[in-house]
Amino acid sequence: MPVSRRPAALVLAVSLSLPVLAGCGSSGSAAAGASATGSGSAGSASSLAGQSLTLYSGQHEQTVKTLVADFEKRTGVTVRVRSGDEAELATQLLQEGKASPADVFYAENPPALTVLQEQGRLAPVRPATLAAVPAADSSPKGDWVGVSSRAAAFVAATGTPADTAPPTSVLDLAKPQWKGRLGIAPGETDFSPVVTEVIKSIGVAGATEWLKGLKANAKVYASNEDLAVAVNSGEVQGGVVDHYYWYRLRDEKTAAGTHSKLHYFAKGDPGALVDVSGAAVLAGSKHQQAAQAFLAYLTSVPAQRLIAASESYEYPLAAGVSAKAELPPLTSVGALAPVADLGDGKQALQLLQDTGLLA
């Protein structure tokens, strides 16, 4: 049955129908603040101290709290944080237009950033900041920068057939043998990129049939957290989540209370998806210097080390910064989904609605 609440992913789909909002600030103001930050650093405290910015964040709250505190300590900038679902925040930014107090948007997935990009809401990121991470992890247009990454995975209840004979392809989950054994969280913004990759792999018609198969087979959960808990308790045998949901559940339950394992789809499969989180400066920001400095900080080695060590279990992007040793090498579990392929996520969300997985 479909998710009964208004899914967060659907909010982003609604935002796509909003008109272009005029009155955004010019990109020149971004360049004006460029000299305040050096490559991969938080910038000169003397030039930034006393400034402020407002951050709209759809990322993990505890990790963002740690990053903001460190940035404030290094620069003297005051950061006001508004946390929420990335799709809802993107919609809010479109609705607020030039009146938005936001200076920086920090999103969990590229489509939320692409929606704002297509509406002309993002300012160019300083070249030195973009150069701090691999080019493929950021916007091809240079108006948002990649900060961290994660991989799609299959979580399975220990000892069940889903664990002892896990699927090698996400496409297998639509087959009849998975009926009653599977859980999904289609209202999560993390799920739409997987759908987009399936569309790319087998076309719209094939993806539609795949989603119909998932609907027939799976119990629907409101969030990836709920799905991970359900698998761990044996309520369902398995489900697709981003890898860090399992690691965070394991930390919460401890080893004795963890009754599930992670598996990864075969490389080259549409389910073997690596995705990035990114941050952007709003074109209408009235605090461009501080906002650009914050993006430079997020891609700096100190910030990337904080991300790597955090409880969010994400992969850092900066060269020379390693992920937690317990995480498998990212290159061994999947391939980066090109930003251009993920687009604004509208087609994936439309199929989810058409098949009744989203109301």
- Residue 341 has what pLDDT? 85
* Dist CA 124 CA 356 (whole Å): 38
Q: Which 3 state secondary structure label does DSSP give 230?
A: helix
Antiparallel, parallel or unpaired: β 104-107 and 78-83? unpaired
Residue 15 is given by DSSP the state H
Integer CA distances (angstroms), 338 to 149, 227, 275, 324, in order:
13, 27, 9, 24
Q: How far is CA 52 from CA 293, 294, 303, in A?
A: 11, 11, 19
Q: Residue for token digits 């664990």?
A: 163
Considering only CA atoms, which of 60, 42, 39 is closest in space to residue 51? 42
- Each of the 359 residues of the chain gets a pLDDT tens digit; together they read 333 333 444 444 444 443 332 233 333 333 333 333 443 444 555 689 999 999 999 999 999 999 999 999 999 999 999 999 998 999 999 999 989 999 999 999 999 999 999 999 999 999 999 999 999 999 999 999 999 999 999 999 999 999 999 999 999 999 999 999 999 999 998 899 999 999 999 999 999 999 999 999 999 999 999 999 999 999 999 999 999 999 999 999 999 999 999 999 999 999 999 999 999 999 999 999 999 999 999 999 999 999 999 999 999 999 999 999 999 999 899 889 888 888 888 999 999 999 999 98
Note the pLDDT of residue 255.
Answer: 95
Distances in Å between the Cα of 306 and the Cα atoms of 239, 267, 311 are: 29, 29, 10
Q: How far apart are CA 313 and CA 205, in angstroms?
A: 35
- pLDDT value of position 24: 31
- Which residues are registered as beta bridge partners of 150? 275
At residue 277, the pLDDT reads 96
- Give residue for tokens 């999947």: 334
pLDDT, residue 44, reads 57
- Helices 224-233 & 243-257 angle (0-180, nearest 10): 40
The pLDDT score that the predictor gives to residue 30 is: 34
Tokens representing 282 are: 């709003």
Two domains, one topology: 8-149+276-327 and 150-273: yes
The Cα–Cα gap between 346 and 342 comes to 9
Which position has the token pair 């910030």?
303
- Radius of gyration over alpha carbons of the chain, in Å? 20
The CATH H-level superfamily of 8-149+276-327 is: Periplasmic binding protein-like II (3.40.190.10)
Polymer length in residues for the chain: 359
229 contact partners, CB below 8 Å, separation of at least 6? 249
Q: Which is nearest to 279 in space by CA: 104, 18, 62?
A: 104
Q: Quick one: which of 138, 73, 135, 159 has its CA closest to 279?
A: 138
What's the topology of domain 150-273?
D-Maltodextrin-Binding Protein; domain 2 (3.40.190)
DSSP state at residue 66: H
- For residue 217, give both structure tokens: 């087979």
Domains in the chain: boundaries:
8-149+276-327, 150-273
Contacts made by residues 245-248, CB under 8 angstroms, sequence distance 24+: 245/155, 246/153, 246/155, 247/313, 247/326, 247/327, 248/311, 248/312, 248/313
Maximal C-alpha separation, the chain: 64
Q: What is the pLDDT of residue 46?
A: 61
